[in-house]
Structure 1
Amino acid sequence: MADIETLQIELEKTRRLGKFIKVVEGDLISDLDIPVPVRDGTLLRANVHRPLDQEGHRLPVLFNYSVYGKDGATDISIFPATAGLDTARLTEHYVFEAADPGWWCHRGYIVVYVDARGSCQSDGDKSYYSRDVGLDGYDIVEWLAKQQWSNGKVAMYGASGYAMLQWLVAAEQPPSLAVRPT
């Protein structure tokens, strides 16, 4: 397994080329910077974490959608007492306020983080809490439901800004959005 610095260098190279990278690390398969097209042709970028021991199975998806950054841009150590989190229980793939792939993938879920339009690695102009964010979310949910590794059921996950975007996406009523996918 490559060290984290080597992986970061490789990820930056692939981003410059507009490609994505696949990392098999321990018991997770992580597809990083996957392009997700939305209705106006804009490409959003996703990180998809899947359990290695269930490769080839169609699983429910936990979708985390925000402007915070799918690559863990928020340093939880800057919050007082790490915002009440027991950091010993978090895995290296955890993104603040979102689903931890190291926990959920072992329980039969796929965890996906998507950078919202204009945020971090996604293309387009940033739009905070507008209908466009909900429409993009609708498109992402339906895209996720159609992937070969998805069982067609997609739930959204996360607190704070993640939760605010969940309302915008739910208002658009994507058919594949589930409250509790199994």
Structure 2
Amino acid sequence: MTKQQARKLYTEKRMQLPVADRNRFDDLLLIQFQKLVLPEILLVHTYLAMEAKKEFATDAILHYMEFQHPGVQFVIPRVNAETNELDNILHTEDLLFTTNSWGIAEPVDGTVVDAKEIDLVLVPLLAFDTAGNRVGYGKGYYDKLLAQCRRDVLKVGFSYFEPLDKIADSASFDIPLSYCVTPHRIYEFG
């Protein structure tokens, strides 16, 4: 299956999930994530979920991370129109947000953090395959971000669905996930 085919199919599948199933899957995703044995994590990059696209919201994951890793900090992405890349904005209590042209909440301003400082990236996705390749929304922002991170950064995706066998048009610049968490198991990639 190609990225375009997977993007269409998994967008439809996610939009058709009943609210009760999504709520149950959200709980199961948290339970599965809690099974991961993570090294010390000081800085986590997290996306802000698009509710209109029924994207998995990472709030419960972040609360768990705060409990497991006291002192952990979070960065939130903001599209940098000049570079066409993501800036990592340090989350603070007084951070103000706006909605961008894609309907995604992003920080108005704030402290930009170098991608090399990030220990864990929570990566948005629509689908993934058994090799850890992911299908996002097609803009390439996360591929660029992951390329800027340290080689040992942990890359974790969350999916309501099990993996595809193979994404046929994965490219050499695509950076595979370290893990993908589904309601029923954790997939680990080399």
Does TM, scored on the shorter chain, surpass 0.5? no
TM-score (norm 1): 0.28
**What's the TM-score once normalised by structure 2's chain length?**
0.27
Higher helix residue share: 1
